[in-house]
Amino acid sequence: MAGPSFRALIVEDSPMIALDLEAGLVGWGASEVRIAGSPNAAAGELETFRPDIAILDLGLGGPGQIELALGLVALGVKVIFTAAGIGRPVLPGALGACPVVAKPYGPQHMELAVRRALGLTN
């Protein structure tokens, strides 16, 4: 992905998926990528880091996930959700406009979602 660099936050509990996604994001132009395995860990990252985009696994569930996503959107961070299963989940409020990339996804699908979220497509 050519274009301006961006900063990304990955919230994913599978280390293998997170590391693959990190490599993709760097290849697509990310200048910095942080990985958090839970919403609480992500909240800790946000104390010293402001991403341009965040990719959150909806499969994490648990307390704090929706609140984290709503907080990111309120900060102006572009949010992309990933989700296993069929169909689009119903998300509350402003999160309903966030893209959802179905797992398993190919790198080209995630790259397109990232490009669109950051406004880097025609």
Burial 57-85 (b: 16+ CB within 10 A, else e): bbebeeeebbebbbbbbeeebbbbbbbee
- Are 68 and 39 in contact, with CB atoms under 8 Å apart? yes
Domain spans, the chain: 6-117
Q: List pLDDT tens digits, range 11-48.
A: 999 999 999 999 999 999 999 999 999 999 999 999 99
What's the order of all strands across the beta sheet hosting 6-11? Answer: 30-36, 6-11, 53-57, 78-84, 100-103
Give the number of other CB atoms < 10 A from CB of residue 120: 17
State the pTM of this model.
0.92
Q: List pLDDT tens digits, range 49-85.
A: 999 999 999 888 777 888 999 999 999 999 999 998 7
Residues near 83 by beta carbon (within 8 Å), at least 6 away in sequence? 57, 58, 59, 89, 100, 101, 102, 103
CA 118 from chain center: how many Å?
12
Tell me: pLDDT of 91 over 60.
yes
CATH 3.30.565.10 fits 6-117, yes or no: no
- In the block, residue with structure tokens 């992905």: 1
Q: Provide the pLDDT for residue 94.
A: 83
